Amino acid sequence: MKFSSQGKQLSIDAFRSSLSGLSKSNRWVQLGDTLPWSDIERLYNVRLNNGKRGAGNKPARMIIGALLIKHKMNLSDKETILAIQENPYMQYFVGLSEFTDKPIFDPSLFVTIRKRLGNNDFNDMSVSLLKIQVEKSRTAAQEKKNDKDDSPTGSGSEICTDPVFTDSQGRLHQGSLKIDATCADAEVRYPTDIDLLHDGCKVINRYIAKLCKRFSLSAPVTYYKAARSAYLEVIKLKKRSKKAIRTGKSLLLTYLIRDLRSFINLIAVHGTQLLESLNRHERRVVTAIIKMYYQQLQMFKDGTHTCADRIVSIFQSHVRPIVRGKSKFPTEFGAKIGASIVNGYTFLDHHSWDAYNESSDLALQVELYRQRFGFLPVRIYADKIYMNKENRRLMKELEIQSMGKPLGRPPKKSKTEEYQLRMTKAVGERNEIEATFGTGKRIYRANNIRAKLPETATCWTGMCYFVKNVMKFLRELLYALCFILELMANPCNYRRIIIPMQGFAC
Q: Please report the pLDDT score of residue 503 as a whole number.
A: 38
Is pLDDT of 197 > 90? yes
Residue 225: alpha-carbon gap to chain centroid: 41
HSE on the CB side for 133, CA within 13 Å? 27
Out of 12-21, 58-67, 415-424, 489-498, pick the least confident. 489-498
CA distances from 239 to 246, 303, 396 (A): 14, 20, 57
Q: Please report the pLDDT score of residue 489 as a whole number.
A: 64
Q: What value does the mean pLDDT of the chain take?
A: 86
Burial classification of residue 421, based on how many CB atoms lie within 10 Å of its CB (0-12 exposed, 13-18 middle, 19 or more buried): exposed
Residue 492 pLDDT level (bands cut at 50, 70, 90): low
Question: What is the per-residue pLDDT across 297-345, written as a single tens digit (0 to 9) for each?
Answer: 999 999 998 999 999 999 999 999 998 877 778 899 999 999 999 999 9
Residue 371 pLDDT level (bands cut at 50, 70, 90): very high
User: Which residues touch 211 (CB under 8 Å, ≥6 apart)?
Assistant: 217, 266, 274, 277, 278
Q: Which range is most confident: 143-147, 185-189, 490-494?
A: 185-189
CA-CA distance, 87 to 72, in Å (whole number)? 15
Residue 97 pLDDT level (bands cut at 50, 70, 90): confident
CA distances from 499 to 329, 377, 474, 478, 483 (A): 39, 22, 15, 11, 7
User: Which residues touch 362 (CB under 8 Å, ≥6 apart)?
Assistant: 179, 380, 382, 386, 391, 394
Rounded mean pLDDT of 222-248? 95
Is pLDDT of 369 > 60? yes
Q: pTM, whole model, 2 decimals? A: 0.86
SS (H, E, C) 136-184: HHHHHHHHHHHHHHHCCCCCCCCCCECCCEECCCCCEECCEEEEEEEEE
Is pLDDT of 194 > 70? yes
CA-CA distance, 248 to 503, in Å (whole number)? 63
Is pLDDT of 385 > 80? yes
Q: Please report the pLDDT score of residue 268 as a whole number.
A: 94
3-state helix, strand, coil in the chain (%, to 5): 55, 10, 35
CA-CA distance, 286 to 314, in Å (whole number)? 8
Residue 422 pLDDT level (bands cut at 50, 70, 90): confident
Q: Please report the pLDDT score of residue 155 as a whole number.
A: 35
DSSP 353-418: SS---GGGHHHHHHHHHHHHHSSB-SEEE--GGG-SHHHHHHHHHTTPEE-SPPSSPPPSSPPPHH
Helix (H) or strand (E) run with residue 436 in it: helix 417-442
Percent of the chain with pLDDT over 70: 85
Q: Which range is most confident: 16-20, 91-95, 254-258, 496-500?
A: 254-258
Three-state DSSP class for residue 188:
coil
Is pLDDT of 15 > 50? no
Out of 130-139, 247-256, 357-366, 388-397, pick the least confident. 130-139
Out of 15-24, 95-104, 309-318, 402-411, pick the least confident. 15-24
Rounded mean pLDDT of 259-269? 95
Residue 65 pLDDT level (bands cut at 50, 70, 90): very high
Q: Please report the pLDDT score of residue 17 as a whole number.
A: 59
Q: Are strands 401-402 and 379-381 parallel, antiparallel or unpaired?
A: parallel
DSSP 283-351: HHHHHHHHHHHHHHHHHHHHT-S--TT--S-SSSTT-EEEE---SS-SEEEEEEEEEEEETTEEEEEEE
Q: Are strands 176-185 and 379-381 parallel, antiparallel or unpaired?
A: parallel
Is pLDDT of 494 > 60? no
Give residue 360's identity as a one-letter amino acid code: S
CB-CB contact of 451 with 189 (8 Å)? no
Higher-confidence residue: 12 or 345? 345
Q: Comparing C-alpha atoms, which of 444, 470, 450 is closest to residue 110?
A: 450
Q: Please report the pLDDT score of residue 134 as a whole number.
A: 79
Is pLDDT of 154 > 50? no
Out of 38-47, 225-234, 269-278, pick the least confident. 38-47
Q: Please report the pLDDT score of residue 152 as a whole number.
A: 41
Q: Please report the pLDDT score of residue 57 as a whole number.
A: 78
Is pLDDT of 184 > 80? yes
Q: Please report the pLDDT score of residue 147 as a whole number.
A: 63
CB-CB contact of 186 with 449 (8 Å)? yes
